[in-house]
Chain A
Amino acid sequence: MLDRTSSLLTLENVGLNRGGRWLVRGVDLSVHRGESVTLIGPNGAGKSTTAKIALGLLSPDEGRASQAPELKVGYVPQQLSIDWTLPLTVRRFMSLTNRVSDADLRDALEMVGIAPMADAEVRHLSGGEFQRTLLARAIARKPDLLVPAEPVQGVDFSGEIALYELIGEIRRTLGCGILMISHDLHVVMADTDSVVCMNGHVCCQGPPRMVAENPEYLALFGARAAGALAVYEHTHDHTHLSDGTVRHSNGSVTDSCHPGDGHHDHADGHNEADHA
């Protein structure tokens, strides 16, 4: 059994180079049991590369990556299309990567609220039901670490909030660590402990600030939903060009970008709730 306090995975100053280009560099990250960490950033920012290094699927070219021995991962894929030619019930899908007992299967389906769908064919499920099935499959494995990649695709906005709340509930019930990947810059679970914002490197990280008084959010989703959402939005002050160099907001171009190179202006760049 894994120690309750030990980290599930740790990345220290990790970088991955492909064809002379750094896909990610200088990434520090750790996830402990019971802790929730969210990777956010625009497309191509290196979120999924970082997640793959974190799960031990890619070896970093610099820095160190380590996982707890026998780390059991429950992965919720970004998108998954089941072809018509493949007859697949929810029940069979649940034991895709390991055998699942009837009791665990029922518990997992009940937890996500789709217990009656156990014998339905997966391709007949609605978008929301399918997302819940993906979550149920991952938690039926009793994972040490749950990895939801873009958990809200194909779901409408209120369904999105329900799913984020569900992931929070899963963490409290199972006590597993969570490494969430989202290109959603502005909607992040309120009860995520740490947000790692990426743009080829870790551009900033820390606890998310809650939306305190944003009347539009309150009007749209009510007080309960506002508690589940946090705004963590800022503009990146530099762009990674295709040749590997970096163009900064003042127009200068450099070969690399590091937090200490003077071109990162995070203190003012962030548009957080407490500025409002």
Chain B
Amino acid sequence: MLDDFFVRALVAGIGVAMVVGPLGCLIVWRRLAYFGDTLSHSALLGVALALLLQVNITAAVFVVCALVALSLLLLQRRASLSSDSLLGLLAHSSLALGLVALAFLPNVRVDLMGFLFGDILAVSVTDIAVIYIGGAAVLLVLVFVWRPLFAATVNFELAEAEGMNPARANLIFMFLMATVIAISMKIVGVLLITALLIIPAATARRMASGPEAMALIAIVLGIIAVVAGLFGSLEWDTPSGPSIVVAALIFFLLALLPAAGIIRRRPPSQGS
């Protein structure tokens, strides 16, 4: 069954959607969209380094993303530039460095568009194994750190005072983000990973009554967007990443419609 490239892409995409759902919720709650962007842009530098040093691309992307996340933490402590300036600096300089470094590799033919926007043709059985093993690891760690991570999302001081070690939880969250970017790069591409993190989570917000429910709904919406997007990509020969994001956007807009509001609205408890 996995002989078919499209089935491989579907299986891989569903695996990615299951991991980005809960992490996307945390990104939205913590207002870290730009941070996610910065990490995913730096992934291209990881690709370039992997080709240069002839090492595994997924591993190199993970290492570069983790290093960028750590350097951001260090730079924020010194705080000579504001956080958003730092993020902009890191995001675009690492993207530019990656593009320049790729140009210096004359012997390597690189499908740049595939890295930037995702490529369903490129998904191998090994990629699926990496996505599912990496994804399972991310979800498992997330279950273990969920309470301190969520408490730190609501209020860092409170979590700290009540002995939850939120600083450690935040550090683990950075590594989870780096892992997710490394494993989802082939499906959505580095430029659009943040969109796949944010849009299903934002859509889920309107339907959810609690944080955990929102994470689960984001997973379901992510899977629907991946399946719809990949079919669209196959049908109209469009790059897979943008197709998935467009599908997610359509579901977001549908959830805004008044009809959706009637379904989700609880029966009124008071008069009028």
Binding site for B on A (CB under 8 A): 55, 57, 73-75, 77-78, 80, 82-89, 92-93, 96-98, 141, 147, 149
The reply to whether B158 and A77 contact each other, CB–CB distance below 8 Å, is yes
Nearest-neighbour CB distance to chain A for B34, whole angstroms, equals 15
Given contacts A80-B155, A97-B147, A87 and B161 within 8 Å (CB-CB): no
CA distance A96 to B147 in the complex (A): 7
Task: Say yes or no for B162: interface residue by CB 8 A criterion.
Answer: yes
The reply to whether B210 and A75 contact each other, CB–CB distance below 8 Å, is no
Size range of the chain B interface in the assembly: 20 to 34
Contact of A97 among B29, B164, B208, B210 (CB under 8 A): B164
A-B residue pairs in contact (CB < 8 Å), sample of 26: A57-B160, A57-B161, A73-B163, A74-B162, A75-B158, A75-B162, A78-B157, A83-B31, A84-B205, A85-B29, A85-B202, A86-B153, A86-B211, A87-B205, A87-B208, A87-B209, A87-B210, A87-B213, A87-B214, A88-B154, A89-B210, A92-B210, A92-B211, A93-B154, A96-B159, A141-B162
Interface majority SS (helix, strand, loop, mixed), chain A: loop
Task: Say yes or no for B50: interface residue by CB 8 A criterion.
Answer: no
CA distance A57 to B156 in the complex (A): 12
Enumerate chain B residues within 8 angstroms of A87, measured Cβ to Cβ. Answer: 205, 208-211, 213-214
Enumerate chain B residues within 8 angstroms of A141, measured Cβ to Cβ. Answer: 162
Given contacts A85-B28, A97-B147, A97-B164, A80 and B209 within 8 Å (CB-CB): no
CA distance A77 to B148 in the complex (A): 16
Shortest Cβ distance from B204 into A: residue: A87
Nearest-neighbour CB distance to chain B for A160, whole angstroms, equals 21
The reply to whether A82 and B154 contact each other, CB–CB distance below 8 Å, is yes
Enumerate chain A residues within 8 angstroms of B211, measured Cβ to Cβ. Answer: 86-88, 92
Shortest Cβ distance from A147 into B: residue: B161
CA distance A88 to B155 in the complex (A): 13
Nearest-neighbour CB distance to chain A for B156, whole angstroms, equals 9
Nearest-neighbour CB distance to chain A for B159, whole angstroms, equals 6
CA distance A97 to B161 in the complex (A): 10
Task: Say yes or no for B224: interface residue by CB 8 A criterion.
Answer: no
Best-surrounded residue of A74, A77, A78, A89 (most CB of chain B within 10 A): A77
Enumerate chain A residues within 8 angstroms of B205, measured Cβ to Cβ. Answer: 84-85, 87
Enumerate chain A residues within 8 angstroms of B154, measured Cβ to Cβ. Answer: 80, 82, 86, 88, 93, 96
Nearest-neighbour CB distance to chain A for B216, whole angstroms, equals 12
The reply to whether A97 and B157 contact each other, CB–CB distance below 8 Å, is no
Nearest-neighbour CB distance to chain B for A88, whole angstroms, equals 6
Shortest Cβ distance from A78 into B: residue: B157
